[in-house]
């Protein structure tokens, strides 16, 4: 026979007890499973003080609201002046930051709470680094100038790319370093008797200005890895854009892909590849569009896709491809917007445009759920957060977006929280 309650006070007591029990269960679940799905690292080019050293803001993303909140102790010093590029190691254990004015790359060990601990600093092979990319085996850096005595701001020359091998570290006596990833010395290129690969046009002394880098790998490439660098010829009017393509050897050495460099509009500014390594996308800052290419899986050579280029906003500056969903997102620096695209067999269809802070220059997608998009807005000195719809690719502002950052942010990178996404399912 069921229990019977006749008095209102008895019913109220039972209700209060039930609510208390539910609250305790909820609290316990919150302690056992964090709502933080990712840590986002935002490099800012200027900091307070006479030395103008840069800073790294570390944000955590809330899995329910998308809210980005700086962690305790953030921001962290970048270890140099004018940090302009970031990359994370494949194991998410290290953050690499390029400090342009110091010609340096600083390796930070990332704590489980997202905090940064400076571990190692190396000089770049060339002069004025501007872009970084990393996979499990190598860290690639693009420098504004080759390391030649004649190269300077007063007398510029063409850029170059360098390669640093990455190896597993650890606490054992045989490990080369105590970090989970160890940064080795830059790889030599016998063709130039140096530690760089020049970005030049055959038979020409024109000055080639690099702008961005991307690593393409996946099912289309098989065991191959290709590296692409966007650049433009500043010696002609209007400027002429190119994509330099390289196959990466098992020892990290670079071999130009057949037909490289490939024509790429007027002033390419950013590039990204899809998760299968089948398509490469390049933004053209001058023409306001996105160029699309098919990647030859055996060689890395590029073929312009039918229908390319695809319209973007004014001064498209950066691009990201969602690795889990068929969507592409482009920042438009002059418009202060993000344009969303659906991708089908490489072709892009615009889904809409969304407002950001002033002059967005970098964009990323969270690696945990692939559902949160964020932009670094240079003149806005803030970060926008969006939640993307997996069904449609459209964007919705995250709670309390935009979020304040250190002055003049330039780059973004992210890792999943504890490498698992805090238990949130994709």
Angle of CA points 382, 123, 141, to nearest 5°: 60
What's the pLDDT at 173?
80
What's the pLDDT at 19?
46
Tokens of 297: 């899986």
Is 17 part of a structural domain of the chain? no
Tokens of 179: 């970090």
Expressed as residue numbers, the domain containing 381 is: 36-423
Instruction: Report the Cα–Cα distance between both ends of the chain, in Å, rounded.
Output: 46
What's the pLDDT at 175?
86
Distance set, CA 222 to CA 53, 80, 298, 419 (Å) = 42, 38, 8, 25
- Cis ω for the linkage preceding 422 (within 30 of 0): no
Is 211 part of a structural domain of the chain? yes
What's the pLDDT at 172?
84
What's the pLDDT at 51?
65
Find the CATH number of the domain harbouring 198: 2.130.10.10
Is 311 part of a structural domain of the chain? yes
Task: Report phi then psi at 170, rounded to 5.
Answer: 145, -170
Distance set, CA 322 to CA 181, 214, 269 (Å) = 26, 14, 19
3-class DSSP state for residue 118?
A: strand
Q: What is the mean pLDDT of each run of 10 residues along the chain (426 residues)?
A: 46 46 42 76 76 90 95 95 96 97 96 96 97 98 96 94 96 89 96 97 95 94 94 97 97 97 98 96 98 97 97 98 96 98 98 98 96 97 97 97 96 84 39
What's the pLDDT at 221?
85
Domain count, the chain: 1
Distance CA 397, CA 96 (A): 29
What's the pLDDT at 171?
83
Is 11 part of a structural domain of the chain? no
Is 29 part of a structural domain of the chain? no
């Amino acid at each position: 026979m069921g229990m019977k309650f006749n008095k209102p006070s008895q019913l109220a007591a039972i209700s209060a007890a039930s609510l208390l029990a539910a609250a305790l269960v909820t609290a316990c679940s919150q302690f056992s499973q964090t709502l933080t799905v990712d840590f986002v690292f935002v490099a800012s080019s200027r900091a307070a003080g006479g030395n103008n050293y840069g800073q790294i803001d570390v944000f955590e993303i809330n899995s329910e609201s998308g809210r980005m909140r700086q962690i305790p102790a953030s921001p962290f010093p970048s270890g140099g002046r004018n940090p302009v590029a970031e990359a994370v190691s494949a194991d998410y254990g290290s953050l690499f930051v390029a400090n342009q004015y110091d010609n340096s790359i600083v390796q930070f060990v990332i704590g489980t709470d997202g905090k940064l601990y400076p571990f190692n600093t190396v000089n770049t092979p060339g002069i004025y680094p501007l872009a970084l990319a990393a996979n499990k085996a190598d860290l690639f850096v693009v420098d504004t100038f080759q390391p030649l005595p004649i190269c300077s701001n007063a007398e510029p020359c063409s850029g170059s790319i360098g390669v640093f091998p990455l190896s597993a570290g650890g606490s054992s006596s045989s490990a080369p370093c105590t970090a989970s990833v160890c940064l080795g010395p830059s790889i030599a290129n016998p063709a130039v008797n140096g530690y760089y690969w020049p970005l030049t046009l055959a038979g020409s002394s024109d000055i080639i200005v690099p702008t961005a880098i991307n690593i393409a790998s996946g099912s289309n490439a098989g065991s191959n890895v290709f590296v692409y660098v966007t650049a433009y010829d500043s010696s002609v009017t209007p400027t002429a854009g190119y994509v330099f393509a390289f196959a990466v050897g098992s020892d990290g050495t670079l071999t130009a892909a057949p037909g490289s460099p490939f024509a790429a509009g007027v002033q390419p500014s950013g590039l990204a590849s899809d998760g299968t390594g089948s398509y490469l996308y390049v933004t053209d800052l001058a023409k306001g569009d996105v160029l699309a290419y098919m990647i030859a899986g055996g060689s890395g050579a590029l073929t312009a896709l039918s229908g390319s280029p695809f319209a973007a906003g004014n001064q498209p500056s950066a691009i990201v491809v969602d690795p889990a969903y068929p969507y592409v997102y482009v920042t438009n620096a002059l418009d202060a917007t993000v344009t969303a695209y659906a991708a089908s067999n490489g072709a892009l269809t615009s889904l809409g445009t969304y407002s950001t802070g002033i002059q967005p220059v970098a964009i990323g997608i969270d690696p945990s759920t692939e559902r949160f998009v964020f932009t670094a807005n240079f003149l806005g000195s803030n970060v926008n957060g969006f939640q993307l719809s997996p069904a449609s690719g459209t964007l919705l502002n995250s709670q309390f977006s935009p979020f304040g950052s250190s002055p003049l942010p330039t780059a973004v990178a992210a890792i999943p929280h504890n490498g698992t996404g805090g238990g949130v399912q994709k």
